[in-house]
Copies of this chain bind each other. A is one copy, B any other.
C-alpha cells in the first residue's frame, strides 16, 4: 500500500471545518492523489478541539501546534488560524520540512508575508511545498473562465468589474467582534473579501496589478462590545480602481453592508471580442459571450453555461452533467491540487509569492485611501 501523507490542520472553526471536509474527501473524488491520513486537528481549547476532531474525522486532537509541526507522522501542515499567527506557524512548519497550506490572507503585514515567501522559496529548494488557499481559483466555472481568457476567446481584456458583497454587518446593532478590530484582524472588508477579488483579477487575466486608487469607509463607527460601545477600527467597505500591467482597468467594490447579498462575489470581464460573467451565488454557471456575432449580430448574446460537463475543469471527478457542486467542493479540489503537486514534485499554485503580490495590492489601496485616493504604484520585487 502506498505510504499515506499525514495531515495536521491548525484551527477548527469555520475554515478548519471546511479544510477537514476537504481532507476527508479528497482521495474519494481524486483517486490519483496520494492517500492522506487525517492525523491531528489542533486548537487552543482542548475540549472543543477534541469534539471537533471526533466530528470531522481526525485520528486525534492537540493544543500545541509547535509540537505537532515537529511530528514524524505529520507531512502536511494546513494553517486555518487567524492571520496574525500565519507567519509564525508557517515558518516553523517549513523549517521542520512540512508541506504547508496557509489560508488567505498570507499574513497580516507585507513584511511578514515577504519573510514567508523567502522561507517558502528556500524550502522549495529542499522539495518542501507550500501554497495559499485562494479557494475560488478552484471554482470550475472560474477556471474555465481563466482558460477561455488565456485562449483569447474574449480578445484583449480592457475592463473588469469585480465586487464581493455581503451583508452581515448591515444591521448597525450587530455586535463588535475581533474581526472589527485592526489589531486582531489587520483589515476589514478589504483584506477579507478584497484579497479574493484581487487574486482573481490577477489570476483570470494572468497579469499583475501595477497601480491602484483606494477609498475606505466605516459606515458604523461604533458597535456594542462586551464592555459597552467600542470603536470599529477597520473598514466596512472598500473601493479601488486597479490598472494591470497590460493597461486593463478593474473596478473593485467590497462590502459587508450590502443588504441582501449573502456571499456575492461577482465578476464581469470585458474583452475587445467578448465578455465573461460570474456570480458565486450561482457558482456552477458561467456567462460567456465570445465573438461579436460575425457578419450579422442576429444571434449574438451571452451564453449561460452550466459548468458541469465532464470536460469542464475537475468535473470528471464528481457527478454527471447538471448535478451541481457546492461551495465546499472548491476546498476538495484545492487539496487535490496540492497533493498532486507534492506527488509530482512541482510547486503548487497559488504560491506564497502570489499571496504576497495580493497583499501588496491591498497595501497600495490602503496607501491611496490615506492620500485622498491619489493613484499609487504597487510595490514590486526588485527583479520584476
Contacts and interface: CB of A to CB of B under 8 A. Distances in A.
17 contacts: A21-B28, A27-B57, A144-B298, A158-B237, A172-B272, A217-B249, A251-B253, A258-B275, A261-B270, A281-B306, A296-B309, A298-B305, A300-B303, A300-B309, A301-B305, A318-B328, A373-B373
Contact of A260 (B274, B312, B318): B274
Nearest to A328: B319
Interface residues of A, number: 95
A285 B261 CA distance: 13
A255 B250 CA distance: 13
A308 interface: yes
Contact of A158 (B257, B302, B304, B373): B257
How many copies of the polypeptide does the oligomer hold?
A: 4
Contact of A215 (B168, B241, B283): B241
B305 A300 contact: yes
A64 interface: no
Contacts of A302: 260, 303-304
A5 to B, nearest CB: 16
A314 interface: no
B257 A270 contact: yes
A226 interface: no
Contacts of A70: none
Contact of A374 (B259, B297, B374): B374
Interface in A158-182: 158-159, 161, 163, 165-166, 168, 170-172
A298 B226 CA distance: 29
A303 B299 contact: yes
Interface in A21-54: 21, 24-25, 27-28, 31, 51
